[in-house]
Amino acid sequence: MHVILIAPHFPANQRQFARALKSVGAWVTGIGEASVDQLDGELRSWLDAYEQVPSVCDEEALLGAVRRIQRRGWVDRLEVTIESHILAAARVRELTGIPGLSVQNAILCRDKPTMKAFLRDHKIACARSDSVESIEAAVAFAREVGYPIILKPRAGAGAADTVRVDAEDELAAAAHACGLDRGQSVAIEEYIEGHEGFYDTLTVGGVVQHEFISHYYPNVLEAMRTRWISPQIITTNRVDIPSYDELRAMGREVIQHLGLGTTATHMEWFFGPKGLKFSEIGARPPGVCTWDMYSHANEIDLYREWAMAVTHGKVDRRPSRNYSAGMIALRPDRDGIIEGYSGAEDVWRDLGPWIMDAHLPPPGTRTQPVEAGYMANAWLRMRHDDFDILRGMLDHVGRTLHVHAR
């Protein structure tokens, strides 16, 4: 089978998709923005051909590259795993007759107001939401729904440019932050109180073959705006317990209603006083190398499972569920240059057997802002067979290991 993989070079874990495709016998052609000379030897060994384009989000450039590849031989699949590449790839698929996620489904998985309206029509519990093009429209929505409200890009990912508004006198600043005061169409939503997590799957022909449930501590918006917090993401090995039945059923319904076929999915959810609520879904893997945690926790190679699904229409391993796994982001105490660390020796002495890996940028490294994400600065990942013990261990890391900057 011949598979085109978009952007095999960046971000760093993209290479794992190329490796996995090659390992299951696929002929792999990459399309990316780097030159072939910029690809390292190992990555080049997993690619049978490569096309460079100025931007993989440029539909005309992407279409031209795909047509050049098709002139050389048959193409079975065109695969993307990055949120910002999904719509361009879907349009190119439809123009070139390659099966996969359609333009309609890509829009439903990218445009948040459209997504939620569609799923509300199918009886999925969602926050009240709409799209607005003016401050006046935002004020009208907020007065009807009540504060707090959330403003965010219609096709954003994570908490990028997402703003919580607690009162009407905050709307002007929030509107400027997200471009609403400049005529930008943005998503506006009812604020849902409660705990936040995500439900991820690998589906084949719309049927869930692998599923994983993870939790944020604290919720993403707070984690991405508060420097002193060392936020955690923990995936549980208790997926099959009855308390998750409602979530698993909702996830399957969402996938069915959206008509998602053979793909990875990443669905955010909230649970609180108003019960379980759908937040949003992407037809892609989660970010921050979460599949690495799933693989370690379940003693499988999830990238290879994805490649098996794409090329052979099946998976061939089952998750062990032997471990929960988690990561903790460690923020510098200020923006600037990393000066050093304290508490690292204590963490390795106390918790070394459960640490999977860690990234502690060397002194002299320039820091990244808090909003750059969970893996922008220092981080550490662990696994343990008991979810609650693991969470306590990660709390210990957050209290003990500190990043100092100047």
Q: 260 vs 106, 223, 304, CA distance in Å?
A: 9, 30, 20
79 domain-assigned:
yes
- Whether 62 and 164 share a structural domain: no
Q: Is residue 122 part of a domain?
A: no
Domain count, the chain: 3
Does residue 162 form part of some domain? yes
Instruction: With respect to residue 150, please indicate whether it lies within any of the assigned structural domains.
Output: yes
Tokens of 43: 């990555």
Would residue 75 count as lying in a domain? yes
Residues 163 and 207 occupy one common structural domain: no
382 and 243 within one domain: yes
Range of the domain at 75: 2-99
Domain end, chosen from 148, 165, 190, is at 190
Q: pLDDT truncated to tens, each residue of the chain (406 aa)?
A: 999 999 999 999 999 999 999 999 999 999 999 999 999 999 999 999 999 999 999 999 999 999 999 999 999 999 999 999 999 999 999 999 999 999 999 999 999 889 999 999 999 999 999 999 998 999 999 999 999 999 988 876 656 678 899 999 998 888 888 888 888 899 999 999 999 999 999 999 999 999 999 999 999 999 988 999 999 999 999 999 999 999 999 999 999 999 999 999 999 999 999 999 999 999 999 999 999 999 999 999 999 999 999 999 999 999 999 999 999 999 999 999 999 999 999 999 999 999 999 999 999 999 999 989 999 999 999 999 999 999 999 999 999 999 999 9
Q: Are 87 and 138 members of one domain?
A: no
The structure tokens listed for 207 are 């049927």
> At 89, which amino acid appears?
A
Shared domain for 373 and 344, answered yes or no, is yes
Cα 213 to Cα 211: distance, rounded to the nearest angstrom: 7
Judge if 263 and 396 occupy the same domain. Answer: yes
Residue where a domain terminates, one of 150, 167, 190: 190
Residue 83 lies in a domain: yes
What CATH number is given to the structural domain containing 170?
3.30.1490.20
φ, ψ dihedrals at 290, nearest 5° = -65, -30
- On whether residue 106 sits in a domain, the answer given is no
User: In this structure, is residue 104 part of a structural domain?
Assistant: no
Does one domain contain both 89 and 140? no
Same domain, 254 and 386: yes
Provide the terminal-to-terminal Cα distance of the chain, rounded to the nearest Å: 53
Residue that is last in its domain, among 99, 117, 137: 99
Q: Say yes or no: 282 and 315 in one domain.
A: yes
Q: Both 360 and 395 in a single domain? A: yes
What mean pLDDT, rounded, does the chain reach? 95
CA angle 167, 172, 177 (to 5 degrees): 110
146 and 277 fall within a common domain: no
Same domain, residue pair 260 and 176: no
Q: How far is Cα 137 from Cα 61, in angstroms, rounded to an integer?
A: 37
What is the domain-level CATH number for residue 78? 3.40.50.20
Q: What pLDDT, in 10s, does the model give residues 306-345? A: 999 999 999 999 999 999 999 999 999 999 999 999 999 9
Buried b (16+ CB within 10 A) or exposed e, 134-155: eeebbeebbeebeebbbbbbeb
